[in-house]
Structure 1
Amino acid sequence: MTNYIDPSRENFEAFKSLPRDRPIHMLNLLLYRDEAAYPEGHEHAGKGWSGRRAYEEYGKTSGPIFTRVGGSIVWRGAFETMVTGPSDRRWHNGFVASYPNSGAFFEMIKDPAYQQAVINRTAALLDSRLVRFEPGEGGSTFG
Protein backbone atom coordinates (compact mmCIF):
# COMPACT_ATOMS: atom_id res chain seq x y z
CA MET A 1 0.00 0.00 0.00
CA THR A 2 1.37 3.41 -0.94
CA ASN A 3 0.73 6.21 1.53
CA TYR A 4 0.22 9.81 0.48
CA ILE A 5 0.79 12.83 2.68
CA ASP A 6 1.84 15.56 0.21
CA PRO A 7 0.90 16.02 -3.45
CA SER A 8 3.20 14.77 -6.18
CA ARG A 9 4.67 17.43 -8.44
CA GLU A 10 2.48 16.19 -11.33
CA ASN A 11 -0.72 16.30 -9.28
CA PHE A 12 0.05 19.74 -7.91
CA GLU A 13 0.80 21.05 -11.41
CA ALA A 14 -2.58 19.68 -12.57
CA PHE A 15 -4.23 21.46 -9.61
CA LYS A 16 -2.47 24.73 -10.45
CA SER A 17 -3.53 24.50 -14.12
CA LEU A 18 -7.25 24.53 -13.25
CA PRO A 19 -9.23 27.80 -13.14
CA ARG A 20 -8.29 29.91 -10.14
CA ASP A 21 -11.26 32.30 -10.07
CA ARG A 22 -14.11 30.06 -8.94
CA PRO A 23 -15.06 28.37 -5.66
CA ILE A 24 -13.54 24.97 -4.93
CA HIS A 25 -14.28 22.14 -2.54
CA MET A 26 -11.46 19.96 -1.23
CA LEU A 27 -12.34 16.46 -0.01
CA ASN A 28 -9.91 15.41 2.73
CA LEU A 29 -9.60 11.78 3.88
CA LEU A 30 -7.37 11.19 6.90
CA LEU A 31 -5.66 8.16 8.42
CA TYR A 32 -3.77 9.06 11.59
CA ARG A 33 -0.54 7.52 12.84
CA ASP A 34 -0.73 5.70 16.15
CA GLU A 35 2.04 8.01 17.36
CA ALA A 36 2.84 11.35 15.76
CA ALA A 37 6.17 11.42 13.90
CA TYR A 38 7.67 14.85 14.52
CA PRO A 39 11.14 15.72 13.23
CA GLU A 40 13.88 15.60 15.83
CA GLY A 41 14.17 18.90 17.64
CA HIS A 42 10.58 20.00 16.98
CA GLU A 43 8.84 21.47 20.03
CA HIS A 44 6.31 18.58 20.05
CA ALA A 45 8.82 15.76 19.41
CA GLY A 46 8.96 13.28 22.24
CA LYS A 47 5.64 14.31 23.81
CA GLY A 48 4.10 10.95 22.89
CA TRP A 49 1.20 12.57 21.04
CA SER A 50 -1.07 10.40 18.95
CA GLY A 51 -1.53 11.27 15.30
CA ARG A 52 -5.05 12.46 16.11
CA ARG A 53 -3.67 14.83 18.78
CA ALA A 54 -1.06 16.19 16.33
CA TYR A 55 -3.83 16.78 13.76
CA GLU A 56 -5.82 18.68 16.39
CA GLU A 57 -2.75 20.89 16.84
CA TYR A 58 -2.64 21.38 13.06
CA GLY A 59 -6.28 22.47 13.13
CA LYS A 60 -5.65 24.88 16.00
CA THR A 61 -2.58 26.45 14.40
CA SER A 62 -3.79 26.53 10.78
CA GLY A 63 -7.42 27.43 11.53
CA PRO A 64 -6.96 31.21 11.78
CA ILE A 65 -5.16 31.25 8.41
CA PHE A 66 -7.83 29.02 6.81
CA THR A 67 -10.55 31.37 8.09
CA ARG A 68 -8.65 34.51 7.03
CA VAL A 69 -8.45 33.32 3.39
CA GLY A 70 -12.21 32.64 3.38
CA GLY A 71 -12.17 28.88 4.00
CA SER A 72 -14.90 26.97 5.77
CA ILE A 73 -15.77 23.34 6.49
CA VAL A 74 -18.99 22.37 4.68
CA TRP A 75 -19.10 18.74 5.84
CA ARG A 76 -17.19 16.46 8.20
CA GLY A 77 -17.64 12.89 9.36
CA ALA A 78 -16.05 9.92 11.08
CA PHE A 79 -15.34 6.83 8.97
CA GLU A 80 -17.52 3.78 9.63
CA THR A 81 -17.00 1.26 6.79
CA MET A 82 -16.01 0.97 3.14
CA VAL A 83 -19.09 0.23 1.01
CA THR A 84 -17.48 0.44 -2.45
CA GLY A 85 -13.74 0.13 -2.62
CA PRO A 86 -10.99 -2.01 -1.15
CA SER A 87 -12.14 -3.66 2.08
CA ASP A 88 -8.73 -3.16 3.66
CA ARG A 89 -8.86 0.62 3.11
CA ARG A 90 -10.05 2.68 6.05
CA TRP A 91 -9.96 6.30 7.10
CA HIS A 92 -10.37 7.87 10.51
CA ASN A 93 -12.04 11.10 9.42
CA GLY A 94 -13.11 12.99 6.35
CA PHE A 95 -14.20 16.52 5.63
CA VAL A 96 -14.90 18.90 2.77
CA ALA A 97 -13.21 22.30 2.95
CA SER A 98 -14.63 25.13 0.86
CA TYR A 99 -12.49 27.95 -0.51
CA PRO A 100 -13.71 31.04 -2.38
CA ASN A 101 -11.17 30.14 -5.11
CA SER A 102 -7.91 28.27 -5.51
CA GLY A 103 -6.04 31.54 -5.03
CA ALA A 104 -7.22 31.46 -1.40
CA PHE A 105 -5.82 27.93 -1.06
CA PHE A 106 -2.47 29.10 -2.50
CA GLU A 107 -2.46 32.10 -0.16
CA MET A 108 -2.97 29.76 2.79
CA ILE A 109 -0.22 27.28 1.92
CA LYS A 110 2.28 30.08 1.20
CA ASP A 111 1.68 31.78 4.56
CA PRO A 112 4.79 31.38 6.78
CA ALA A 113 2.61 30.59 9.83
CA TYR A 114 0.81 27.89 7.84
CA GLN A 115 4.13 26.39 6.76
CA GLN A 116 4.97 25.98 10.45
CA ALA A 117 1.49 24.62 11.25
CA VAL A 118 1.60 22.00 8.48
CA ILE A 119 4.46 20.23 10.28
CA ASN A 120 1.74 19.01 12.67
CA ARG A 121 -0.26 17.61 9.74
CA THR A 122 2.75 15.76 8.36
CA ALA A 123 3.56 14.35 11.81
CA ALA A 124 -0.08 13.30 12.33
CA LEU A 125 -0.90 11.40 9.15
CA LEU A 126 -0.04 7.92 8.00
CA ASP A 127 -2.07 8.39 4.79
CA SER A 128 -4.43 10.94 3.29
CA ARG A 129 -6.23 12.00 0.15
CA LEU A 130 -6.94 15.54 -0.98
CA VAL A 131 -9.29 15.81 -3.95
CA ARG A 132 -10.44 19.05 -5.60
CA PHE A 133 -14.05 19.35 -6.77
CA GLU A 134 -16.01 22.11 -8.43
CA PRO A 135 -18.96 22.73 -6.09
CA GLY A 136 -22.34 21.69 -7.44
CA GLU A 137 -25.92 22.01 -6.33
CA GLY A 138 -27.51 19.71 -3.79
CA GLY A 139 -30.79 18.04 -4.56
CA SER A 140 -32.98 14.97 -4.24
CA THR A 141 -31.50 12.91 -7.09
CA PHE A 142 -28.08 11.47 -7.88
CA GLY A 143 -27.78 12.91 -11.38
Structure 2
Amino acid sequence: MSLVSETYIDPSPANFAAFKDLPRDRPIHMLNLLRFREKAEYPQGQENHGKGWSGQRAYEEYGRTSGPIFRRVGGAIVWRGTFETVVTGPDDMRWDDGFVAQYPHAGAFFEMIKDPEYQKAVVNRTAALADSRLVRFAPGEAGEGFG
Protein backbone atom coordinates (compact mmCIF):
# COMPACT_ATOMS: atom_id res chain seq x y z
CA MET A 1 0.00 0.00 0.00
CA SER A 2 1.38 3.39 -0.98
CA LEU A 3 1.69 5.96 1.76
CA VAL A 4 2.24 8.77 -0.76
CA SER A 5 -1.23 9.38 -2.17
CA GLU A 6 -0.95 12.77 -3.83
CA THR A 7 1.44 14.08 -6.41
CA TYR A 8 2.44 17.68 -6.91
CA ILE A 9 3.74 19.37 -10.04
CA ASP A 10 2.58 22.99 -9.68
CA PRO A 11 1.89 25.05 -6.54
CA SER A 12 -1.64 25.25 -5.20
CA PRO A 13 -3.18 28.74 -5.17
CA ALA A 14 -2.99 28.79 -1.35
CA ASN A 15 0.67 27.75 -1.26
CA PHE A 16 1.62 30.25 -3.96
CA ALA A 17 -0.23 33.03 -2.10
CA ALA A 18 1.73 32.15 1.07
CA PHE A 19 4.97 32.30 -0.94
CA LYS A 20 4.03 35.70 -2.38
CA ASP A 21 3.24 37.03 1.12
CA LEU A 22 6.78 36.35 2.37
CA PRO A 23 9.47 39.04 2.10
CA ARG A 24 10.80 39.50 -1.42
CA ASP A 25 13.97 41.44 -0.62
CA ARG A 26 16.21 38.78 0.94
CA PRO A 27 18.02 35.70 -0.40
CA ILE A 28 16.05 32.47 -0.63
CA HIS A 29 16.89 28.80 -1.07
CA MET A 30 14.46 26.55 -2.91
CA LEU A 31 14.67 22.83 -2.16
CA ASN A 32 13.67 20.88 -5.28
CA LEU A 33 12.82 17.18 -5.08
CA LEU A 34 11.94 15.57 -8.40
CA ARG A 35 10.51 12.26 -9.56
CA PHE A 36 10.48 11.81 -13.31
CA ARG A 37 7.83 10.16 -15.43
CA GLU A 38 9.01 7.08 -17.26
CA LYS A 39 7.90 8.77 -20.48
CA ALA A 40 7.41 12.54 -20.78
CA GLU A 41 3.83 13.69 -21.33
CA TYR A 42 3.71 16.67 -23.66
CA PRO A 43 0.44 18.22 -24.77
CA GLN A 44 -0.72 17.47 -28.31
CA GLY A 45 0.76 19.99 -30.71
CA GLN A 46 3.72 20.94 -28.48
CA GLU A 47 7.00 20.73 -30.44
CA ASN A 48 8.39 17.89 -28.27
CA HIS A 49 5.20 15.82 -28.34
CA GLY A 50 5.78 12.43 -29.92
CA LYS A 51 9.57 12.45 -29.58
CA GLY A 52 9.38 9.58 -27.08
CA TRP A 53 11.53 11.36 -24.50
CA SER A 54 11.91 10.04 -20.99
CA GLY A 55 10.91 12.31 -18.13
CA GLN A 56 14.58 12.80 -17.32
CA ARG A 57 15.31 13.86 -20.92
CA ALA A 58 12.39 16.33 -20.82
CA TYR A 59 13.74 17.78 -17.55
CA GLU A 60 17.16 18.17 -19.17
CA GLU A 61 15.41 20.18 -21.90
CA TYR A 62 13.78 22.30 -19.19
CA GLY A 63 17.22 22.95 -17.72
CA ARG A 64 18.69 23.83 -21.11
CA THR A 65 15.87 26.23 -22.01
CA SER A 66 15.30 27.80 -18.57
CA GLY A 67 18.95 27.90 -17.47
CA PRO A 68 19.86 31.18 -19.17
CA ILE A 69 16.90 32.92 -17.50
CA PHE A 70 17.72 31.33 -14.12
CA ARG A 71 21.31 32.61 -14.37
CA ARG A 72 20.24 36.05 -15.65
CA VAL A 73 18.13 36.66 -12.51
CA GLY A 74 21.08 35.66 -10.32
CA GLY A 75 20.11 32.05 -9.60
CA ALA A 76 22.65 29.36 -8.78
CA ILE A 77 22.54 25.71 -7.70
CA VAL A 78 24.19 25.58 -4.26
CA TRP A 79 23.67 21.87 -3.56
CA ARG A 80 22.76 18.81 -5.61
CA GLY A 81 22.52 15.22 -4.48
CA THR A 82 21.62 11.75 -5.70
CA PHE A 83 18.84 9.96 -3.83
CA GLU A 84 19.87 6.76 -2.09
CA THR A 85 17.22 5.77 0.49
CA VAL A 86 14.61 7.10 2.89
CA VAL A 87 15.73 7.05 6.52
CA THR A 88 12.64 8.73 8.02
CA GLY A 89 9.50 8.87 5.92
CA PRO A 90 7.28 6.68 3.77
CA ASP A 91 8.95 3.45 2.63
CA ASP A 92 7.92 4.02 -0.98
CA MET A 93 9.12 7.62 -1.19
CA ARG A 94 11.86 8.11 -3.76
CA TRP A 95 13.28 11.01 -5.73
CA ASP A 96 15.23 10.95 -8.95
CA ASP A 97 16.94 14.28 -8.36
CA GLY A 98 17.32 16.79 -5.55
CA PHE A 99 18.93 20.20 -5.44
CA VAL A 100 18.83 23.59 -3.75
CA ALA A 101 18.51 26.62 -6.00
CA GLN A 102 19.59 29.95 -4.53
CA TYR A 103 18.08 33.26 -5.62
CA PRO A 104 19.43 36.67 -4.56
CA HIS A 105 15.87 37.55 -3.49
CA ALA A 106 12.35 36.24 -4.03
CA GLY A 107 11.76 38.98 -6.58
CA ALA A 108 14.31 37.24 -8.82
CA PHE A 109 12.23 34.05 -8.68
CA PHE A 110 9.14 36.03 -9.71
CA GLU A 111 11.09 37.72 -12.50
CA MET A 112 12.12 34.29 -13.79
CA ILE A 113 8.66 32.70 -13.78
CA LYS A 114 7.09 35.76 -15.47
CA ASP A 115 9.66 35.77 -18.28
CA PRO A 116 7.97 34.80 -21.59
CA GLU A 117 10.87 32.50 -22.52
CA TYR A 118 10.65 30.76 -19.14
CA GLN A 119 6.92 30.26 -19.65
CA LYS A 120 7.72 28.45 -22.90
CA ALA A 121 10.41 26.37 -21.18
CA VAL A 122 8.31 25.27 -18.20
CA VAL A 123 6.19 22.97 -20.40
CA ASN A 124 9.24 20.67 -20.36
CA ARG A 125 9.19 20.58 -16.54
CA THR A 126 5.49 19.74 -16.49
CA ALA A 127 5.95 17.01 -19.11
CA ALA A 128 8.91 15.55 -17.22
CA LEU A 129 7.60 15.23 -13.68
CA ALA A 130 5.48 12.56 -12.04
CA ASP A 131 5.86 14.29 -8.65
CA SER A 132 7.85 17.08 -7.09
CA ARG A 133 8.33 19.26 -4.05
CA LEU A 134 9.45 22.88 -4.12
CA VAL A 135 10.09 24.26 -0.64
CA ARG A 136 11.30 27.76 0.21
CA PHE A 137 13.85 28.28 2.97
CA ALA A 138 15.60 31.35 4.31
CA PRO A 139 19.33 30.59 4.04
CA GLY A 140 20.93 29.87 7.40
CA GLU A 141 24.42 29.45 8.72
CA ALA A 142 26.22 26.18 8.06
CA GLY A 143 28.19 24.67 10.90
CA GLU A 144 29.12 21.65 12.92
CA GLY A 145 26.02 21.21 15.05
CA PHE A 146 22.29 20.69 14.67
CA GLY A 147 21.16 23.58 16.83
What RMSD in Å do the two structures reach over aligned CA positions? 0.4
Task: Spell out structure 1 runs of 4+ moving beyond 2 A.
Answer: none
Q: TM (normalized to structure 1)?
A: 0.99
Match of 1:49 among 30, 42, 53: 53
Q: Aligned partners of 1:54 and 1:74: how far apart in 2?
A: 22
Aligned to 1:38: 42
- The answer to whether residue 124 in structure 2 is matched with residue 128 in structure 1 is no
- Secondary structure of the corresponding residue to residue 53 of structure 1: helix
Q: After superposition, where does 1:24-35 map in structure 2 within 5 Å?
A: 24-35=28-39
1:65 aligns with 2:69: yes
Deviations 1:61-106 (A, max 9, x none): 0000000000000000111100110011111110000000000000
Counterpart residue type for residue 109 of structure 1: I
**Matches of 1:90 and 1:96, distance apart in 2:** 17
Q: Distance in 2 between matches of 1:38 and 1:78?
A: 26
Residues matched between the structures, number: 143
State the partner residue of 1:140.
144
Structure 1 unaligned regions, length at least 5: none
> Secondary structure of 2:146's partner?
coil
Aligned residue number for residue 106 of structure 1: 110
For 2:82, the equivalent position in structure 1 comes to 78
Give the SS at the match of 1:38. Answer: coil
Point out where structure 2 has 5 or more consecutive residues left out of the alignment. Answer: none
Mapped to 1, the partners of 2:144 and 2:82 lie a distance apart of 23
